[in-house]
Amino acid sequence: MNDPKYRILFVCMGNICRSPTAEAIFYRKLADRELLQKVKIDSAGTHNFHPDAPPDERSQMHALKRGYDMSHLRARQIVDSDFEEFDLLLTMDWDNRALLEERCPPQHLQKVRGLAEFLQTSQASVIPDPYYGGDQGFEQVLDLIEEASEGLMKFTIQKVQA
């Protein structure tokens, strides 16, 4: 990709459920609006629990039912250069936000935000971790991320048109 105008990193704990789901959903939204050349996205985890592993099978199954293919994504841990490279680092919950802020160089702290800030109607303050729950948790994550992606798209369009 030639010098994207804006760069977004989605961050959860292990990079196998929420953040790859967010990456897959937002990728589709960018593709639908022909913005893939202007916006770079990626996902990472605050922990290195699943290096180079594909997304959780349950996440993939529920996402695929909605037309999102995540099979090509692989887990990685956040690295120091991510704070410099990305314009926005979106965490899924307060614990991961605290971990990211603790590690983030002070000059980049304003880049760290929560994905739930972009929800348009839902009152959730976080995207909850579905890992230890059942099917409903994965569906809830998809619902919240799809909604937050709409708000994030409006924000991103303003950034790439600036």
In order of start, what are the domains of the chain with their CATH numbers? 6-161 (3.40.50.2300)
pLDDT tens digit sequence for 41-90: 999 999 999 999 999 999 999 999 999 999 999 999 999 999 999 999 99
The one-letter code for the residue type at 20 is P
What HEC string does 35-82 produce? CCCCEEEEEEECCCCCCCCCCCHHHHHHHHHCCCCCCCCCCCECCHHH
135-156: average pLDDT: 97
Q: Are 14 and 50 in contact (CB under 8 A)?
A: yes
Rounded to whole angstroms, the Cα distance separating 2 from 21 reads 25
Give the pTM: 0.97
126-140: average pLDDT: 95
Q: Are 45 and 13 in contact (CB under 8 A)?
A: yes
Q: Which residues does the annotation mark as catalytic?
A: 12, 18, 129
